[in-house]
Structure 1
Amino acid sequence: MGKKYIINLSDEERGELSELTNKGKTGARKLKRAQILLLADEGKTDREIAENIHVGVSTAERTRRRFVEGGSENALNERRRPGKKPLLNGRQEAILIAEACSDPPEGRSKWTMQLLADRIVELGVVGSISDDTVLRTLKKTT
């Protein structure tokens, strides 16, 4: 069975990739991908590439496919990752911060993360929230 994604680099592409692999300021993943493309252009199989530069066979296959489908920029660079939606919006964060800056409950010398979480739920700002989320939110606001 023949390879579905065959790499045929132009002289310009080969030069850019070679320059990238010889430059000292390239990230490890990008460097490995450039090496994969150069070896694939030499006619090496995915298994040979994987053994040669110590990556998984699937990484070699995926890099080859991404190059054929979208060019060198697509093959060399990371795709954006969406991340998780924030648990609190700006208004909710502002209320949390205002509560943290207010006087602690009677009988307490200071707010704890759990007390703040309970207070925010009590105020109806959110249905539920963990003390870890409170900590992360307050930590990112100096």
Structure 2
Amino acid sequence: IAERVGVSCDSVRLISKRYAETGGDVWATVARKERALPPVPSSVTGEVEARLIALACSKPPKGHARWSLRLLEKHVALAEDIPDLDHSTIGRVLKKRNCALT
């Protein structure tokens, strides 16, 4: 059956198991399962991105030649209008918008 349908043997085994568990209900077998937990909304909105990019494009603080991700992380933590973000999240936002720290 797996070869004829073009799926793995495990897929056939799992579908037949689910079919037996649902009492032979085809629609319950192939229907998507309801998520146990709703997806968590991202804390990075368009406004947060804009403020973060503006901060990254601004002049670095005294004593620093340029911004680093960890330095941005510290300054974001101090800003009241931007939620606390990890340096890896900051890096992803800047990479997504093609912003390079110079």
Pairwise same-fold verdict (TM > 0.5): yes
Aligned-pair distance for 1:123?
A: 1.9
RMSD of Structure 2 on Structure 1 (CA): 3.4
Of 36, 50, 59, the match for 1:103:
59
Deviations 1:51-71 (A, max 9, x none): xx2448435434x46x8116x
Deviations 1:24-66 (A, max 9, x none): xxxxxxx42xx7xxxxxxxxxxxxxxxxx2448435434x46x
Of 87, 92, 102, the match for 1:131:
87
Higher Cα radius of gyration: 1
Aligned pair count?
90
Aligned to 1:68: 26
Contact kept in structure 1, 2:51 and 2:82, CA below 8 Å: no
Gap change, CA 1:78 and 1:119, over 3 Å in 2: same
**TM-score normalised by the chain length of structure 1:** 0.48
Task: Report percent identity of matched pairs.
Answer: 27
Aligned-pair distance for 1:138?
A: 1.0
Gaps of at least 5 residues in structure 1 are 1-17, 22-30, 36-52
Aligned to 1:122: 78
Aligned-pair distance for 1:78?
A: 7.5
Deviations 1:70-126 (A, max 9, x none): 6xxx94x988x8754212111111000011111111111110111111112212123
Question: Larger relative contact order (C-alpha < 8 A, sep ≥ 6)?
Answer: 2
| 1:86 and 2:86 aligned | no
